[in-house]
Amino acid sequence: MTGPSGASAVSGVRYTLLALIFCHLWSGAFVAVKVGLASSPPLFFMASRFLVAGALLLAWARLTGRPMPAGRGQWGSIVLLGLLTNAISLGLTAIALRDLSAGMAAILASTNPLMLALVAPWFLGEQLTGRKVAGLLIAFSGVMWVMGSRVGPDNRLAAMALVVLSTACLVAGTIVFKRIRPDQDLIVLNASQLFVAGVALIVPSALIEPLGSVHLTLSLVASQAYLIAGVSWVGMLLWFWLLRHGNATRASAWFFLNPVIGVFLGATLLGEPLRAPDFLGTATVALGILLIQRG
């Protein structure tokens, strides 16, 4: 059973629970990348992550007998998704995080739902209702409320522009996924586009980055392990599942939670203080997402 945008109907509770898991995994990615960049140049760090994640996942898919992509059509879609969703989008984010705080990157990345909402009516035929518009504005105001007092001087304008561009690439990847509606096994699709992204980044890394500056530290291994297993495997698989079973505006709305979750993770794991505006902002974001989901 499918909806108007080709989305398969699933339980709202199931969709929400998986979306929350995705948000928690994705929220930690900015911190993990920031940690890893202390021991590696950005393109090499991301390329090695994608190559390892893609190769291992492809090997597991072959061992379990999952059908591999066939023909130019399927491979063309995979290459486009790999470039937009991972190589360009996350590659630019890694470069930007050298001159940007993880919190500011999360704020800028949360513009994803706003960008998508503006183009979805034209590219995807998704209706932008008054309730959805209200939800988008309310959720984004909640994000700004939570993060506004946390913005510091360690954020360069050029780096901010790179994150905005990377977010636009992720939005483009979302549109491509919804337009082509790939029918491949999601694990194979994820593995293939990850490997493509790794190949796409390793070449410029070898050409322009000082690979002698890579240091095999415990923090580098730990951050890569989290990004490979938690984000590239589980997180990306959940993202594609959310897109397949819900319209793009509904799925992307959950990005509003990422900065908020980051604040609470910082309090839990790093002992950072929680303030009253954090709780008010969280309630505002939740209200906005609720309106979008029911719009």
Q: What are the pLDDT digits (tens) for 1-36? A: 344 444 555 788 899 999 999 999 998 898 899 999
Residues in CB range of 28: below 8 A, 6 or more apart = 226, 230, 231, 262, 265
Q: Structurally, how many domains does the chain consist of?
A: 1
CB 93 within 8 Å of CB 105: yes
Q: Is residue 4 part of a domain?
A: no
CB 288 within 8 A of CB 139: yes
Give domain status of residue 162, yes or no: yes
**Is residue 295's pLDDT more than 80?**
no
Whether residue 125 lies inside any domain: the answer is yes
The answer to whether position 5 is within a domain reads no
Alpha carbon distance 251, 92 (integer Å)? 22
pLDDT of residue 270: 58
Q: What is the mean pLDDT of the chain?
A: 88
Alpha-carbon Rg for the chain in angstroms: 18
Residue 222 has what pLDDT? 97
Instruction: Give the tens place of pLDDT for each residue, 48-105.
Output: 999 999 999 999 999 999 999 988 889 999 999 999 999 999 999 999 999 987 777 8
pLDDT beyond 90 at 41: yes
**What's the pLDDT score for residue 5?**
44
Between helices 157-180 and 71-81, what is the axis angle to 10°?
150
Q: Report CA 32 to chain centroid distance, whole Å.
A: 13
Does 92 fall in a domain?
yes
Highest mean pLDDT among 157-166, 176-185, 195-204, 254-263: 195-204
Q: So what's the pLDDT on residue 198?
A: 98
Give the per-residue pLDDT at 178. 93
Q: Whats the size of the chain, residue-wise?
A: 295
pTM, 2 dp:
0.86
Domain contains 2: no
Percentage of the chain with pLDDT > 70? 92
CA gap 271, 248 in Å, rounded: 35
Q: In the prediction, which pLDDT does 95 show?
A: 96
- The answer as to whether 1 is a domain residue is no
User: What was the pLDDT predicted at 208?
Assistant: 96
Tell me the mean pLDDT in the region 209-222.
Answer: 95
**Domain containing residue 107:** 12-293
The more confident residue out of 91 and 250 is 91
Q: Is there a domain that residue 3 lies in? A: no
